[in-house]
Amino acid sequence: MDSFPLRQKRSSSQNLSALQARLQPYLPTAKYILKRIGIYFLTVLGAVTLAFIFFHLMPGDPLSIVFSQLEKTNLGRVTGGAEVAEAYKRLLGLDQPLPVQYLLFLRNVLIGGFDLGPSFVAFPTSTRDVIFRQLPWTIGYFTSAMLIAWLIGTTIGALLGWLRRIGLTSVAVGIATLLNITPVYIIAIAAIIFFGYHLHWLPTGQPYDPGLTPNWGDIEFIKNVLRHAIMPIASVVLVWGASFSLGMRSLMISVLGEDYLSYAKAKGLTPFMILRDYAFRNALLPQVTALGIALGNTINGVLILEAIFVVPGVGGLFVRAMAIHDFNVMQGVVLLSTVAVLTLSLIVDLLLPFLDPRIRRSND
Amino acid sequence: MINWKLLLGILLLTIILFTAAIGPMITPSFFPGEDPAQVGSYPSLESPSPQHPLGTDTLGRDAVVIIINGIRLSLVIGVVGGIISTLIGVTIGFIAGYVGKRTDTVLRVIIDMVLVIPVLPLLLLMSLYIPKWDVVTMGVLLGIFGWAFVARTTRAQVLSLRERSYVDLARLNSEGTLEIIFEELLPGLLPYIFLGLAGAMVGNMLIEAGLQLIGIGAGLPPTLGSIMGRAYGAGALSLGLYGQILVPAGILVAMFLALNLINMALEERFNPRLRAFAEER
């Protein structure tokens, strides 16, 4: 009778070790995922803190600047700017000591769902609403352009790498190099000059013809919007597509030098199978990472492009906010894009172990 | 074998630098008795003519002359910004890579954080606090924001250099830390530092041009970027003064292209796999 619990214990520990053995292969992946998510939350916290520091430790507070400017521009007609600024500061909690402000800020942003207070560009409307109202334009124009560029660029790059021995590809590589180093805004202005002012083929700016009222059910309106989107999207696709294709090409070339490709060839696989299953798949991984980074950094390019093409997106919003020192909106755009970059790179990093067994097995 | 990329790159760069150096001395002889770079010498925004091939700018100066003078001003921005970001970046990257351990972890997190924070909006924000622009201020501002990338590459290089056997040998020889840093590690890093510096220089000049297009840094002396920005802001596109935007842009792109060509040529020379591929052809 004594031996029974003992035996049971043994069998349960056997079970446990069997379970452990079964889980063993997944352990590094689980560890990797947990670690990565932990880093994500830390960096988000860090970025929010940095944004706070950046916007609150600047010399001169925004409200006083805004109201003193108002006094200056409307000389004599507006007075009492300082008092009004004080009143607003109390209203917005800006009279509290900095650490308290920081905690309030953290609470509002992280728990309050990106609550950054009212905007100045459209006063009583909240910063969140103003930004989210403009966001679809930015995503529709530039995120989609980036995705198109990635698809086209990766395909072309893979082909250029595969056909690297054919002399003609060096012409394509030369063109891609030139496009890659040209800033998007220069291509955009050149396109506006040529297709807009010279040939009069395409509209030079604005999201749709000024006379139209937005009606997304109307096919004519959608056509108009698409016509206006051609040049901005095409300039992003040209430059970023070139950059993606050059990246993919050099990845392909380095993969093509690997021994396992010679082995695959020796096994008698057809060139197409080698291209698809061996070279392309292995070169694709860093390319996915590149897409994540590029998507996150959209905001950098968008700032100038949206101003050039007069698109009502977050970039244009930022420039407008800057003109009247609307710190809430500027802070919101910076935070939003930072969190977007971090989230995208988290998603990419979490996808990688499923795409690449080497990452799955390594312990790092 | 002569590397045509290297040749073309050096040729392009020489032409541009030569124009920047010699141009301002030659141009006055085309305008006897007048100062083409003086504000108000001519009516503003004149259309291109034999006298003014690219027209005149908003302040009534000959566009060709101010573009030639602008190369030098733009270069100042590039050099100041490039040196600052290289200094900060190399120092931080070096410390991270050389000291390692905790320091490396902390610095790497900081570098990564600065890399993901969108630079342009913050740069725009900083620009609100600048009461009066000059080329050095612009260069400093750009330099402060450009170091993270340099730091990342430097760190990676130091990490690999540190493990080389000749560094171990130096340690065994009981060389001091400073000796190891300056005599063993830095020489190996120099090519990367110079390439990074050159890239950062032109990158800064291009960013400056982008900033000028959205109206930041107005009031700078006529750098290439400010010429573009001012022409764009004055509606040069609808006036047909395309050259005042396209020519400065072209010069900046050509400079960037030249550096890239040189960089590519050097890489083909020193990267064994690419070299094998280049010789195979």
Question: Which tens digits make up the pLDDT trace of B162-188?
Answer: 777 787 787 788 777 778 777 777 877
Kindly report, residue by residue over B183-220, the tens digit of the pLDDT.
777 877 887 788 788 888 888 888 888 888 887 877 77
Angle between helix A327-355 and helix A298-309 axes, rounded to 10 deg: 130
Instruction: Write out chain A residues lying below 8 Å of B260, CB-based.
Output: 177, 181
Chain B closest-CA separation from residue A4 CA (Å): 52
Note whether residue B10 is domain-resident: no
Give CB contacts under 8 A, 24+ apart, made by A162-168. Answer: A162/A252, A162/A256, A162/A275, A162/A279, A164/A249, A164/A252, A164/A253, A164/A256, A164/B277, A165/B280, A165/B281
Note whether residue B69 is domain-resident: yes
Work out how many domains chain B is built from and give that number: 1
Kindly report, residue by residue over A202-235, the tens digit of the pLDDT.
887 777 777 777 777 778 888 888 888 889 999 9
- pLDDT of B106 strictly over 80: yes
Q: Is B103 in contact with B96 (CB distance < 8 Å)?
A: yes
* Residues contacting residue A172 through CB under 8 Å, at least 6 positions apart: A156, A160
Q: Is B219 in contact with B132 (CB distance < 8 Å)?
A: yes
- Is A183 an interface residue toward B (CB < 8 Å)? yes
**The two three-digit tokens of residue A111, written as one number:** 């728990």
Q: How confident is the model at residue B86 (pLDDT cuts 50, 70, 90)?
A: very high
**The two three-digit tokens of residue A29, written as one number:** 């992946």
Note whether residue B2 is domain-resident: no
Q: Domain span at residue B229?
A: 53-280
User: Are B120 and A303 within 8 A, CB to CB?
Assistant: yes
User: Are A300 and B122 within 8 A, CB to CB?
Assistant: no
Phi and psi torsions of B62, nearest 5°: -70, 125
Kindly report, residue by residue over B232-272, the tens digit of the pLDDT.
888 777 777 888 888 999 999 998 888 888 887 877 776 65
**The two three-digit tokens of residue B183, written as one number:** 């005599």
User: Are B125 and A182 within 8 A, CB to CB?
Assistant: no
Global pTM value = 0.79
Instruction: Write out chain A residues lying below 8 Å of B124, CB-based.
Output: 303, 318-319, 322, 330
* A to B CB pairs, distance under 8 Å: 118
Work out how many domains chain A is built from and give that number: 1
User: Are B118 and A164 within 8 A, CB to CB?
Assistant: no
Q: Residue type at B66?
A: I
Note whether residue A100 is domain-resident: no
Q: Is B264 in contact with B256 (CB distance < 8 Å)?
A: no
| The predicted structure's pLDDT at residue A156 | 92
Q: How confident is the model at residue B1 (pLDDT cuts 50, 70, 90)?
A: low
Tens digits of pLDDT across chain A (364 residues): 444 444 555 556 667 777 777 777 777 777 878 888 888 888 888 878 877 887 777 666 666 666 666 666 666 566 666 777 777 777 666 677 778 888 888 887 777 777 777 777 777 778 888 888 888 888 888 888 999 999 999 999 988 888 888 878 888 888 888 888 888 888 998 888 888 888 888 887 777 777 777 777 778 888 888 888 889 999 999 999 999 999 899 888 888 877 887 888 888 888 888 888 888 888 888 888 788 778 777 777 788 888 888 888 888 888 888 877 778 888 888 888 888 878 887 887 788 777 766 666 554 4
Note whether residue B28 is domain-resident: no
**The two three-digit tokens of residue A157, written as one number:** 């790059």
**The two three-digit tokens of residue B1, written as one number:** 């074998």
Most confident of A120-124, A318-322, B80-84, B157-161: B80-84
| The predicted structure's pLDDT at residue A238 | 93
Distance between CA atoms of residues B44 and B56, nearest Å: 6
Chain B closest-CA separation from residue A300 CA (Å): 5
| The predicted structure's pLDDT at residue A360 | 60
Note whether residue B34 is domain-resident: no
* Tally of CA atoms within 13 A in the half-sphere of A185 that contains its CB: 26
Interface predicted TM-score (ipTM): 0.80
| The predicted structure's pLDDT at residue A2 | 46
- Is A322 an interface residue toward B (CB < 8 Å)? yes
Q: What is the CATH number of the domain that holds A297?
A: 1.10.3720.10
Note whether residue B232 is domain-resident: yes
Note whether residue B121 is domain-resident: yes
Note whether residue A156 is domain-resident: yes
**b/e string for B77-99 if b means 16 or more Cβ within 10 A?**
bbbbbbbbbbebbbebbbbbbbe
| The predicted structure's pLDDT at residue B56 | 81
User: Are A253 and B256 within 8 A, CB to CB?
Assistant: no
Percent with pLDDT over 70 in chain B? 94
Q: To 10 degrees, the CA torsion angle through B92, B96, B97, B100?
A: 160
Instruction: Write out chain B residues lying below 8 Å of A330, CB-based.
Output: 121, 124-125
Q: Within 10 A of B62 (CB to CB), how many other CB atoms are there?
A: 26
Percent with pLDDT over 90 in chain B? 9
Kindly report, residue by residue over A13-65, the tens digit of the pLDDT.
667 777 777 777 777 777 878 888 888 888 888 878 877 887 777 666 666 66
Distance between CA atoms of residues A171 and A156, nearest Å: 13
Q: What is the CATH number of the domain that holds B61?
A: 1.10.3720.10
* Residues contacting residue A71 through CB under 8 Å, at least 6 positions apart: A78, A79, A81
| The predicted structure's pLDDT at residue A69 | 65
Q: What share of chain A is helix, strand, coil (3-state, %, to 5)?
A: 80, 0, 20
Q: Domain span at residue A269?
A: 140-314
Q: Within 10 A of B58 (CB to CB), how many other CB atoms are there?
A: 17
Distance between CA atoms of residues A235 and A191, nearest Å: 8
Distance between CA atoms of residues A173 and B278, nearest Å: 14
Note whether residue A360 is domain-resident: no
Nearest neighbour of B214 by CB, restricted to A55, A178, A307: A307
| The predicted structure's pLDDT at residue A364 | 43
**The two three-digit tokens of residue A273, written as one number:** 């199978």
The per-residue pLDDT of chain B, averaged, comes to 81
Note whether residue B27 is domain-resident: no
Q: Is A132 in contact with A126 (CB distance < 8 Å)?
A: no
DSSP A190-201: HHIIIIIIIS--
Note whether residue A113 is domain-resident: no
- Is A164 an interface residue toward B (CB < 8 Å)? yes
